[in-house]
Amino acid sequence: MTVDGVNLQQYHVESWCQQMGVVSQDTFIFNQPIFDNIRYGKPEATETEVMEAAKEAQAHAFIAALPQGYQTIVGERGYRLSGGQRQRLALARAILKQPEVLILDEATSALDSYSERLVQQALAMFQQNRTVLVVAHRLSTITGADQILVLEEGEIVERGTHRELLSRGERYAHYWQLQAQEGMAVNWN
């Protein structure tokens, strides 16, 4: 596996970790002010940088509406926030870090449609000129991907764009139809 043409084995672990950002389904939010939770991704960040990252993550509006804004303490694991708000804070943290590779591990699986749309808009702007690896069961999350890999039992069984995979009528198309019937497959593109 290579990253920017360099074999992954040639990277030092610390260097590699600094180039990666991760937003998972179960985001970790500290019992600290929102400002510090976002800045965790880049401790030396300025107030302006933190606010810009929050805007890019579609989080600034809800933060500004809180009584103490960026100084609001969100509680252990962010329990005072909705799932969508926690996800957008985690995304702001990743955006602030500006990683070369962003991994989204089921990052939108617990979100309502409105929150998912906000996160998708933020990601569309953020993923320019970087690699984004998305692990998703909710297929609406990946419709705009350059390349979709369908895995079954650890094996790649299909590969292509959303449209290519739908036109083939195989596994991906079947999963898409199942989710459409359940009201989960909504194409935001």
Which strand (E) or helix (H) includes residue 134? strand 131-135
Domain boundaries, the chain: 22-144, 147-188
Q: How many CB atoms neighbour CB 44 within 10 A? A: 6
| Mean pLDDT, all residues of the chain | 85
Q: How far is CA 145 from the centre of its chain?
A: 13
Contacts of 19 (CB under 8 A, 6+ apart): 3, 11, 99, 100, 101
Contact 128, 46 (CB under 8 A): no
Buried b (16+ CB within 10 A) or exposed e, 112-139: eeebbbbbbebbeebbeeeebebebebb
Q: How many CB atoms neighbour CB 61 within 10 A? A: 11
What is the pLDDT confidence band of residue 64, given thresholds at 50, 70 and 90? very high
- pTM of the complete model: 0.77
Contact 94, 21 (CB under 8 A): yes
Q: How far apart are the first and last CA of the chain?
A: 30
Give the pLDDT confidence of 127-180 residue by residue, as tens digits: 777 888 888 888 888 888 889 999 999 999 999 999 999 999 999 999 999 988
Amino acid sitting at position 128: Q
- CATH class, domain 22-144, is alpha beta
Give me the helices (H) in 43-170, please: 47-56, 60-65, 83-97, 113-126, 162-168
Helix, strand, coil % (nearest 5) of the chain?
A: 45, 15, 35
Q: Residue 187 pLDDT > 70, yes or no?
A: no
Q: Is the dihedral of CA 164, 167, 170, 176 positive or negative?
A: positive
Q: Residue 188 pLDDT > 50, yes or no?
A: no
Residue 79 or residue 168, greater confidence:
168
Dist. CA 164–CA 153, nearest whole Å: 22
What is the pLDDT confidence band of residue 118, given thresholds at 50, 70 and 90? confident
